[in-house]
Amino acid sequence: MKSFEQSRLLKSLPKQFFASLVQKVNSVRAEGHDVINLGQGNPDHPTPQHIVESLKLAADHPENHKYPPFQGKIELKRAAANFYLREYGVHLDPENEIAILFGGKAGLVELPQCLLNPGDTMLVPDPGYPDYWSGAALAKVHMEMMPLTEENDFLPSFDNIPKETANKAKMMILNYPNNPTGAVATEEFFQQTVKYASAHDICVVHDFAYGGIGFDGKKPVSFLQVKGAKETGVEIYTFSKTYNMAGWRVAFAAGNASVIEAINLMQDHMYVSLFGAVQDAAAEALLGSQKAAETINAMYEKRRDVFISSLREIGWEVRSPQGSFFAWLKVPKGYTSEEFTDLLLEKAYVAVAPGIGFGEYGEGYVRVGLLTSEERLREATLRIKELDIF
């Protein structure tokens, strides 16, 4: 069969680093081993039942069998505005300050194409979510990495960004609670961000994917809570983590009206909005009982406590995450992140994600997803203990 060559654009996209990890895990499983997979970022519990029931009812409505409004249902936008007012005290105009997205990833990948031109500069966290790089590649823009180090609580230091780079930069991506480090941002940090971005005319894009997952009684801070944030950028909120709706592909962007207008224009040319029943169910998630979301958050906190204490008991000195459902663990001396990942998989049958897959500053760490039961997390630590490394 004739094979057609891929475009230069597709060839320019970053390689999917974690595809090789999936292959390794599948290979070990094929040999008959029981692999505890902690390398994933996929919630392991179903969507709360009241949201599922809302979808079922909405799917019966004939109005949802037609093309929905191009830029999404006003009911979902109003629900998002009410959610932000209730949760964060932030006032949003549903018409002009909220855009419905086909999942948070879509918005993050689209935004550089909406606002930047080929050759422009974009500030990106390192380590960070690899799909930030995909957005940069599709927009043909230059990435300048902002190192996230343990010494600075995994927050970027704006003082360390060269002035020339800051003056060229047109967009900055942030993500707190953070994937992969589990760090959180403070209101003071976001105030610094607004000041810095305003001084250099940079649009801030805050990926708030883990906004519903915070520990020790501390609610994660929304970027939009800070004075001047709406003038400076947008925040992207996905339903995937807060409400276990990872397969539903629904999210929204909130904030600066000009950025929202650009997203809507881009999506007008790509989609005819999201299935109306999914939008109705998403509105129910935001406006209905939040008890399930609170239960999900408490579950991750309990898993964190069990896992971190178990690791410390076997002698692995690790930092406890403050948010998200990830733990960011330093590898023992003498190993690279990939070497240690391979060791855990091949000898302990425990799969984790090597830090180097998230950027240069991820080297020396592995990322663990708290996405299995407490029993399996304890079993993982017992298997690691048997390696007699710590």
% of the chain beyond a pLDDT of 90: 90
Q: Rounded CA gap, 18 and 9, in Å?
A: 21
pLDDT digits (tens, 9 = 90+) for 78-119: 999 999 999 999 999 999 999 999 999 999 999 999 999 999
Give strand pairing partners of 237: 252
pLDDT for the residue numbered 261: 97
Q: How confident is the model at residue 390 (pLDDT cuts 50, 70, 90)?
A: confident
Q: Under DSSP, is residue 65 helix (H, G, I), strand (E, B) or coil?
A: helix
Burial track 278-298 (b if 16+ CB lie within 10 A, e otherwise): bbbbbbbbbbbebebbeebbe
pLDDT for the residue numbered 211: 96
Q: Are 332 and 2 a contacting pair, CB within 8 Å?
A: no
pLDDT digits (tens, 9 = 90+) for 334-368: 999 999 999 999 999 999 999 999 999 999 999 99
Tokens representing residue 35 in the block: 């692999």
Q: Residue 67 above 80 pLDDT?
A: yes
Three-state SS string across 294-349, please? HHHHHHHHHHHHHHHHHHHHCCCCCCCCCECCEEEEECCCCCCHHHHHHHHHHHHC
Q: Residue 152 above 80 pLDDT?
A: yes
DSSP states of 100-124: EESSHHHHHHHHHHHH--TT-EEEE
Tell which phi-psi region holds residue 334, choosing left (phi > 0), alpha (psi between -120 and 50) or beta.
left
Name all domains of the chain by residue range, CATH numbers in brackets. Answer: 8-46+292-385 (3.90.1150.10), 50-287 (3.40.640.10)
Task: Determine how many CB atoms are found less than 10 A away from the CB of residue 274.
Answer: 22
Nearest to 365 by CA among 318, 308, 312: 318
* Length of the chain counted residue by residue: 390
Q: Residue 18 above 80 pLDDT?
A: no
Q: How confident is the model at residue 15 (pLDDT cuts 50, 70, 90)?
A: confident
Q: Residue 17 above 80 pLDDT?
A: no
Query: Sign (positive/negative) of CA torsion 350, 220, 136, 194?
Result: negative
Q: Residue 218 above 80 pLDDT?
A: yes
Q: Are 51 and 239 a contacting pair, CB within 8 Å?
A: no
Q: Residue 279 above 80 pLDDT?
A: yes
Write down the residue that tokens 């020396």 correspond to: 364
- CA 130, chain centre distance (Å): 10
Tokens representing residue 259 in the block: 């950025």
pLDDT for the residue numbered 83: 98
> Helices (DSSP H) in 93-238: which residue ranges?
104-115, 131-139, 163-168, 187-200, 229-232
Q: Residue 282 above 80 pLDDT?
A: yes
Q: Where are the beta strands (DSSP E) in the chain?
A: 36-37, 98-101, 121-126, 142-147, 169-175, 203-207, 233-238, 251-255, 326-330, 350-351, 353-354, 365-369
Q: Rounded CA gap, 123 and 161, in Å?
A: 9
Tokens representing residue 184 in the block: 């959180």
Q: Are 100 and 250 a contacting pair, CB within 8 Å?
A: yes
Q: How many CA atoms lie within 13 A of 309 on its CB side?
A: 7
Helix (H), strand (E) at residue 6:
none
Q: How confident is the model at residue 20 (pLDDT cuts 50, 70, 90)?
A: confident
Write down the residue that tokens 């091949």 correspond to: 346
Q: Residue 135 above 90 pLDDT?
A: yes
